[in-house]
Amino acid sequence: MIKAILIFNNHGKPRLSKFYQPYVNTQQQIIRETFHLVSKRDENVCNFLEGGLLIGGSDNKLIYRHYATLYFVFCVDSSESELGILDLIQVFVETLDKCFENVCELDLIFHVDKVHNILAEMVMGGMVLETNMNEIVTQIDAQNKLEKSEAGLAGAPARAVSAVKNMNLPEIPRNINIGDISIKVPNLPSFK
Partner 1 sequence: MALKMVKGSIDRMFDKNLQDLVRGIRNHKEDEAKYISQCIDEIKQELKQDNIAVKANAVCKLTYLQMLGYDISWAAFNIIEVMSASKFTFKRIGYLAASQSFHEGTDVIMLTTNQIRKDLSSPSQYDTGVALTGLSCFVTPDLARDLANDIMTLMSHTKPYIRKKAVLIMYKVFLKYPESLRPAFPRLKEKLEDPDPGVQSAAVNVICELARRNPKNYLSLAPLFFKLMTSSTNNWVLIKIIKLFGALTPLEPRLGKKLIEPLTNLIHSTSAMSLLYECVNTVIAVLISLSSGMPNHSASIQLCVQKLRILIEDSDQNLKYLGLLAMSKILKTHPKSVQSHKDLILQCLDDKDESIRLRALDLLYGMVSKKNLMEIVKKLMTHVDKAEGTTYRDELLTKIIDICSQSNYQYITNFEWYISILVELTRLEGTRHGHLIAAQMLDVAIRVKAIRKFAVSQMSALLDSAHLLASSTQRNGICEVLYAAAWICGEFSEHLQEPHHTLEAMLRPRVTTLPGHIQAVYVQNVVKLYASILQQKEQAGEAEGAQAVTQLMVDRLPQFVQSADLEVQERASCILQLVKHIQKLQAKDVPVAEEVSALFAGELNPVAPKAQKKVPVPEGLDLDAWINEPLSDSESEDERPRAVFHEEEQRRPKHRPSEADEEELARRREARKQEQANNPFYIKSSPSPQKRYQDTPGVEHIPVVQIDLSVPLKVPGLPMSDQYVKLEEERRHRQKLEKDKRRKKRKEKEKKGKRRHSSLPTESDEDIAPAQQVDIVTEEMPENALPSDEDDKDPNDPYRALDIDLDKPLADSEKLPIQKHRNTETSKSPEKDVPMVEKKSKKPKKKEKKHKEKERDKEKKKEKEKKAEDLDFWLSTTPPPAPAPAPAPVPSTDECEDAKTEAQGEEDDAEGQDQDKKSPKPKKKKHRKEKEERTKGKKKSKKQPPGSEEAAGEPVQNGAPEEEQLPPESSYSLLAENSYVKMTCDIRGSLQEDSQVTVAIVLENRSSSILKGMELSVLDSLNARMARPQGSSVHDGVPVPFQLPPGVSNEAQYVFTIQSIVMAQKLKGTLSFIAKNDEGATHEKLDFRLHFSCSSYLITTPCYSDAFAKLLESGDLSMSSIKVDGIRMSFQNLLAKICFHHHFSGLLKLWPRAAQEVVERVDSCASMYSRSIQGHHVCLLVKKGENSVSVDGKCSDSTLLSNLLEEMKATLAKC
**Residues in touch with partner 1 (CB under 8 A):** 1, 14, 16-18, 20, 22, 24, 27-28, 41-42, 44-50, 79, 81-84, 86-87, 109-113, 116-117, 120, 124-132, 135, 139, 142-143, 146-147, 150-151, 153-158, 160-162, 165, 182-185, 187, 191-192
**Of 57, 61, 59, 58, nearest to 34 (Cα)?**
61
**Minimum gap (Å) between residue 102 Cβ and partner 1:** 19
Measured from the CB atom, the residue of 101 and 154 that comes closer to partner 1 is 154
Q: Cβ closer to partner 1: 68 or 181?
A: 181
CB within 8 A of 183, min separation 6: which ones? 106, 169, 172, 173
Q: Exposure of 128 by Cβ count < 10 A (0-12 exposed, 13-18 middle, 19+ buried)?
A: middle
User: Shortest distance, CB of residue 109 to partner 1, whole angstroms?
Assistant: 6
Cα separation, 113 vs 174, whole angstroms: 19
CB of 183 to partner 1, least distance (A): 7
Cα separation of 17 and 31, whole Å?
A: 8
d(CA 192, CA 184): 22
Q: How far is the CB of 97 from partner 1 (least distance, A)?
A: 20
Complex with partner 1: residue 101 or 150, whichever CB lies closer: 150
CB of 188 to partner 1, least distance (A): 9
Residue 39 CA to residue 71 CA, distance in Å, equals 8
| Residues 111, 117 contacting (CB under 8 angstroms) | no
156/178 with CB nearer partner 1: 156
